Chain A
Amino acid sequence: MGYLGTGTLTGTEPARAGGGAERPRLGWLRRLAASDDARRLGACVAGFLLLAVMTGPEGSSLAPTSGFSGSLLHPRVFAFIGLGVGLWALITAKRRYGDRARRLSEAISAAPRRLLPNRLARYGIYLVALAFAIVYPMALSQFWQNVLVDQIGVYVLLALGLNVVVGYAGLLDLGYIAFYAIGAYSAAYWTGALPVHPPITLNPFWAIPLAIFAAMLAGVILGAPTLRLRGDYLAIVTLGFGEIIQIVATNLQSVTGGSSGPASVIPHFSVNLLGVHYKWGLGDLPYYYLLLGFVVVILVTFHALEGSRVGRAWTAIREDEVAAESTGINVLKYKVMAFSIGASTSGFAGMLWASQVGYIDSTLFTVQLSILVLVLVIFGGMGSLPGAVVGAAVLQWFPWFLRVHPLFGFQPEDLFIYLGALLVVMMIFRPEGLLPSRRRKREISLAEHGEGTADAMTEPEGAEP
């Protein structure tokens, strides 16, 4: 803007003086508009104004312009303008006191490690968290117990699986929910709920390995050819795969029941083994504990994987694939491994969910859901197990909290607009995610020792001279 304004002048002294004389009253406005602070303020307020108009009870993301029929002097609009100004103030503060803010954020990240210097203490915290996760849900209402299973528990599982693909191996999978669908349909098939019947009808509990295997097989079949290619292709292929699975599920009505779902109900889990009989019924708590058990097992497994040779290979591939290849890592093998571990976790989540809800149809498995899980992982901190759990729990809990206590006229359909805004804000203030992985810790120690001196090209973020 400023460039255009002065660019039309020739730049010689008389011309500049003449231009100044013609518009003496606009000078301050131009200077203001040219100042970075003002431009950022304008952008923040405009962004939130747009958000206010497009969301909420008066407008909606489905019919954005309908918001204009209502009054623009609605208190909600002012609340959003206030949020915009608040964001601007935070950005300005970050620019001005950026170093201090970064140190504070690093201190917060490092706090758990400083408070819990040894392993034993950390395991203690995990045990306390686990005890809390066991006891607390008993005190919740039926509604929240249901949210805990269908909306939080299943998504924690999904986020943990995608974290292996995206966070560990650095592969962008945009069709992740396809494997969830495969798991769900496997559950329906093996329990005899689909119009086509299996050779033997199983209880969903015994269909778990079959569902996991189906999803894993799909992951290998899709991954083996496409993972040879560079990253962008994988994103495109998986995006297409997600669409294909949903369209097939919709159109193959005689097999899947299509968009209205199969007529019969997918039964609940039950166990009848070594004299132990148990049936998971309509209540949510038993499913919650089943989920919790699996999540704990998966957490322990993935944690062990992360620190193993496999995990180191993934890190190397994520950081530089060519270098990984020339140090002797079988890149394709480890990429397929990560991809199919993610796929089978997703399939497992799908089968669990299908059996708990008892019903599936093809409209559930949208691309949006794939994106949502990706957002959960990015929000929590890519490559971090606690990040995936907490990120998924917080982001999945919050919309339901807003549903019960509507702030600013929150409408559930607007969820993705808010998630987008949240990610934008997060990329400004905490791009590494809520609970980032150990890499962050190293940057901190680098900065503390002041060893980060390097040439200008590779100036480290956390380094001080």
Chain B
Amino acid sequence: MSLLQLVDLDVRYGAIQALSAVSVEVQQGEIVALLGANGAGKTTTLRTISGLARPWKGSVLFAGQEIHRLPPHEVVGLGVGHVPEGRRIFPQMSVQENLEMGAYRRRGNLSQDMERVYALFPVLKQRRRQDGGTLSGGEQQMLAIGRALMSDPRLLLLDEPSMGLAPLVVETIFSIIEQIRSSGTTILLVEQNAVQALQLADRGYVLENGRVVMADQAGVLLNDQRVRAAYLGEGAA
């Protein structure tokens, strides 16, 4: 059974149709990449999964349960962690407090989870008393991912983790995403950086104007002429 299933999703913002008949499936333990240009509907797809946007039609099934009518905080409680676009850490809270906020819906001893996050991102441990707003862009991205992990998610939604970061930092973050997957968390990744995303992912979907235009194994997409032409900046020849 697939962990996440989007069935025929239509999402509208007023008169604008952001998604039409989008169907996406994510299996337990996979890394799936959603690719597409600006405005293709990648972020809207993630927002619909986590309850920040409501579908007009269609449904979102998480572990077999319909979740598209639930408010965002309940979706988090079910095990969907969302790292929003642009990181959105709490700037005036310390790193430690940011991580504690990530576990807001959980009770009990969190020190083990905290150590797990610090093991993934040692730099965060060094800076744990520092305000989130004083971190560099890459560190903020790490903090945003760590905060989402603190909710102990089964599925992690990552919205453009490479945005605005130096290539070396992107590489670090992508290798950590791989580590997170190998520890058992399923990942749905939205990226504009198609090459790196497809190298990391098992499968990929290509969105265009709110529709899924291609869906295949990552390796196949990586070698597909149309994908290369449209998203990898190569001439169609």
Is B181 in contact with chain A by the CB < 8 A criterion? no
Is A94 in contact with chain B by the CB < 8 A criterion? no
**For A274, what are the chain B residues with a Cβ–Cβ distance below 8 Å?**
none
Contact present for A327 and B52 (CB under 8 Å): no
Given contact pairs A454-B134, A457-B137, A330 touches B151 in the complex (Cβ within 8 A): no
Contact present for B94 and A326 (CB under 8 Å): no
CB distance from B95 to the nearest CB of A (A): 11
Which A397-411 residues have a C-beta within 8 angstroms of B? none
Which B75-121 residues have a C-beta within 8 angstroms of A? 76-77, 82-84, 88-94, 97, 100-102, 104-105
Is B223 in contact with chain A by the CB < 8 A criterion? no
**For A36, what are the chain B residues with a Cβ–Cβ distance below 8 Å?**
none
CA distance A192 to B126 in the complex (A): 65
Is B135 in contact with chain A by the CB < 8 A criterion? yes
Is B42 in contact with chain A by the CB < 8 A criterion? no
Most buried by A among B131, B136, B151: B131
Q: How many residues of A contact B (CB 8 A)?
A: 31
Pick the contact of A315: B76, B93, B130 (CB < 8 A): B93
Given contact pairs A319-B90, A319-B92, A451-B130, A325 touches B136 in the complex (Cβ within 8 A): no
Is B147 in contact with chain A by the CB < 8 A criterion? yes
CB distance from A318 to the nearest CB of B (A): 9
**For B50, what are the chain A residues with a Cβ–Cβ distance below 8 Å?**
326
CA distance A45 to B146 in the complex (A): 53
Pick the contact of B131: A325, A453, A460 (CB < 8 A): A460
Is A343 in contact with chain B by the CB < 8 A criterion? no
Is A199 in contact with chain B by the CB < 8 A criterion? no
CA distance A457 to B87 in the complex (A): 14
Contact present for A326 and B76 (CB under 8 Å): yes
Is A313 in contact with chain B by the CB < 8 A criterion? yes
CB distance from B141 to the nearest CB of A (A): 12
Interface residues on B, range: 35 or more
Pick the contact of B91: A312, A319, A322, A452 (CB < 8 A): A319
Contact present for A316 and B134 (CB under 8 Å): no
Pick the contact of B134: A312, A324, A325, A463 (CB < 8 A): A463
Is B29 in contact with chain A by the CB < 8 A criterion? no
Is B127 in contact with chain A by the CB < 8 A criterion? yes
Q: Mark B56-87, 1 if CB is under 8 A from A, else 0.
A: 00000000000000011100110000111000
Contact present for A328 and B134 (CB under 8 Å): no
Is A13 in contact with chain B by the CB < 8 A criterion? no
Contact present for B73 and A328 (CB under 8 Å): yes
Which A449-465 residues have a C-beta within 8 angstroms of B? 451-455, 457-458, 460, 463
Is A446 in contact with chain B by the CB < 8 A criterion? yes
Pick the contact of A452: B72, B73, B92, B134 (CB < 8 A): B134
CA distance A330 to B76 in the complex (A): 10
Is A22 in contact with chain B by the CB < 8 A criterion? no
CA distance A322 to B83 in the complex (A): 11
Contact present for A320 and B73 (CB under 8 Å): no
Contact present for B72 and A328 (CB under 8 Å): yes
CA distance A324 to B91 in the complex (A): 12
Contact present for B104 and A439 (CB under 8 Å): no
Given contact pairs A316-B90, A319-B90, A319-B92, A327 touches B133 in the complex (Cβ within 8 A): no
Chain B minimum-CB-distance residue to A459: B134
CB distance from B159 to the nearest CB of A (A): 10
CB distance from A361 to the nearest CB of B (A): 43
Is A323 in contact with chain B by the CB < 8 A criterion? yes
Given contact pairs A316-B101, A455-B137, A458-B133, A326 touches B52 in the complex (Cβ within 8 A): yes
Is A442 in contact with chain B by the CB < 8 A criterion? yes
Contact present for A330 and B91 (CB under 8 Å): no
Contact present for B92 and A327 (CB under 8 Å): no
CB distance from B67 to the nearest CB of A (A): 13
Chain A minimum-CB-distance residue to B166: A455
Is A329 in contact with chain B by the CB < 8 A criterion? yes
Contact present for A327 and B136 (CB under 8 Å): no
Chain B minimum-CB-distance residue to A460: B134
Which B166-214 residues have a C-beta within 8 angstroms of A? none
Contact present for A328 and B91 (CB under 8 Å): no
Given contact pairs A454-B136, A460-B131, A328 touches B104 in the complex (Cβ within 8 A): yes
Chain B minimum-CB-distance residue to A445: B129
CA distance A325 to B81 in the complex (A): 11
Contact present for A326 and B82 (CB under 8 Å): yes
**For A326, what are the chain B residues with a Cβ–Cβ distance below 8 Å?**
50, 52, 72, 76, 82-84, 88, 148
**For B151, what are the chain A residues with a Cβ–Cβ distance below 8 Å?**
327-328
Most buried by B among A327, A452, A457: A327
Question: Can you list 7 A-B contacts (CB < 8 A)?
Answer: A320-B89, A323-B84, A326-B88, A327-B151, A329-B73, A455-B136, A460-B131
Q: Apart from A325-B52, A446-B130, A458-B133, what are 20 other A-B pairs with CB-CB below 8 Å?
A: A312-B97, A312-B104, A315-B93, A320-B90, A322-B84, A326-B50, A327-B102, A327-B147, A327-B151, A328-B73, A328-B151, A329-B104, A330-B73, A331-B73, A442-B131, A445-B129, A451-B134, A455-B137, A457-B137, A460-B131
